[in-house]
Chains A and B, each alone.
Chain A
Amino acid sequence: MRNKYSIFSLFKNALSYHENWQRAWKDPAPKKEYDAVIIGGGGHGLATAYYLAKKHNMQNIAVVEKGWIGGGNTGRNTTIIRSNYLWDASAGLYDHALKIWEGLSQELNYNVMFSQRGVMNLAHNLQDVRDLKRRTHANRLNGIDAVYLNTEEVKKFCPIINTSQDIRYPVLGGTLQRRAGTARHDAVAWGYARGADEMGVDIIQNCEVKAIKRIGDTVEGIETTKGFIKTKKIGVVAAGHSSVVANMAGLKLPLESKPLQALVSEPVKPIIDTVVMSNAVHAYVSQSDKGELVIGAGTDDYISYSQKGSHQIVEGTLNAILELYPIFSRMRMLRQWGGIVDICPDASPIISKTSIKGLYFNCGWGTGGFKATPGSGDLFAYTIANDEPHKLNAAFNLNRFVSGDLVDEHGAAAVAH
């Protein structure tokens, strides 16, 4: 690697006051033609480019991004990683990603700060208990680590949770996936960008796609704010704006784009060393390495691209947080924001070919795409390179909305859509 990061490079650069670090990726002008173009420079898009170059020997490719890389939902999510999904297809998909996460920092020579601090999902009523027990069994049959905890065990694992049976929605138990955890979201985009750039991938920022050109049912290239780029293969990884890009190609997708909000508190000393999620009362919380509480709120029910959510959504989440964690009652919230997520009717993603030859979509990750970043990139790269899906993403095709073979993961999508 051109500029390998190590304790020695850190020491060497310290001698020159860290003013001579090489830039991590170039800033090229687009070429006239590429073998493939990825639309969207978030984690998923950059990972796709990285694996196309690394595993499928496609180095003459580009990633086009309308803003700056990692500036969209990659920088807005709550960084939770887990694979405890119910159905076999989802378990395969998300655990594939989790296995790549486990070696990602070494592979990229970039510290993505992956921390397997565990994710606990709480049950607040008898149906939750039944559902979570069922999910624990399903996970274990699929080789995914999962245990069911009773109320005392929940309290032992995370002592600040209010397990009093007098609260409105008492904690009756929960599941724990110990291999799950968090990672630094920006570092994932930057690590993949650096790795892809190293192999010759052009990362073109501030370049918005305006149109998708095609001849008959085959793609010809894209019209962008930096001119026309010819290509035979286009991979669209545009998250909340997937439908906008699909409309350029005359396609309709089964997606609705909605605002999803999150917020962080002022930084405090370590208080919660795991991730706790609660589907029923809609609250999840973890603590960043800077000490901020990272809290995820819900989606609004109307379609919007405004990146602003409703105040009552945040209020509802904080009510639930305070009931579960009375110790947070005097915390002050520092920042709050919204991102636009593309939600599929079955709460599962789409990694698929389309009816147009050379046009591929990776979308529909809804409220939970960050955890899948490495696996999504790997499988989407396979799909683009071979013009057919890998067996792990075969179920996540666009045709499932015609055949009816849906992958209903509303229960495992952690917070209700």
Chain B
Amino acid sequence: MFLINCPYCGERDQQEFKAGGEAHIERPKQPTELSDDEWAEYLFMRKNIKGVQFERWNHAHGCRKWFNMVRDTSNDEIKAIYKMGEKPPTQ
């Protein structure tokens, strides 16, 4: 359990939020040309990193907006939060 600093609403309790999984998985541009392996990669395969991970969150019981988060999954420490469409922080 932790506090999340929503880029639109400020700091709120984590239970207001819904986790949306790994971030920056791009939907295939030409789905009709995708092989089964590529579909599996897009739909199911995940990095599931133990350490610093880029992920999506939604302020489900607040402003209902989506945003991105950089979080250390080994201790739940939040490193950075940035809006959808913004470039992920490099450091």
Contacts and interface: CB of A to CB of B under 8 A. Distances in A.
B48 A308 contact: no
Given A305-B50, A306-B75, A254 B1 contact: no
A301 B58 CA distance: 12
Interface in B23-47: 36-37, 39-41, 43-47
Interface in B50-64: 50, 53, 55, 57
A244 B48 CA distance: 8
A402 B34 CA distance: 12
B15 A345 contact: no
B46 A312 contact: no
A304 interface: yes
Interface string A242-267: 01100100001111110000000000
A306 B76 contact: yes
B74 interface: yes
A33 B90 CA distance: 42
Contact of A312 (B15, B44, B76): B15
A259 to B, nearest CB: 9
B67 to A, nearest CB: 14
B44 A254 contact: yes
Given A253-B46, A310-B14, A303 B1 contact: no
A120 to B, nearest CB: 30
Nearest to B53: A303
Contact of B46 (A241, A252, A305): A252
B37 A243 contact: no
Contacts of A253: 45-46, 48
A73 to B, nearest CB: 15
Contacts of A345: 43-44
Interface residues of B, number: 27
A302 B46 contact: no
Interface string A265-308: 00000000000000000000000000000000000111111101
Contacts of A247: 47, 49
Contacts of A303: 19, 21-22, 48-49, 53, 55, 73
Interface in A87-111: none
Contacts of B14: 310
Counting chain A residues whose Cβ lies within 8 A of the other chain, the interface size class is 20 to 34
A255 B73 contact: no
B46 A254 contact: yes
Most chain A CB within 10 A, of B39, B46, B55, is at B46
A169 interface: no
Nearest to B39: A402
A267 B40 CA distance: 48
Contacts of A404: 36
A416 to B, nearest CB: 15
21 contacts: A243-B46, A247-B47, A247-B49, A252-B41, A252-B45, A256-B48, A257-B73, A302-B19, A302-B55, A303-B21, A303-B22, A303-B49, A303-B73, A305-B73, A309-B1, A310-B15, A312-B15, A345-B44, A401-B40, A403-B36, A404-B36
Interface of B: 1, 14-15, 18-19, 21-22, 36-37, 39-41, 43-50, 53, 55, 57, 73-76
Interface of A: 241, 243-244, 247, 252-257, 300-306, 308-312, 342, 345, 401-404
Q: Which 3 interchain pairs have the tightest Cβ spacing?
A: A302-B19, A243-B48, A254-B44
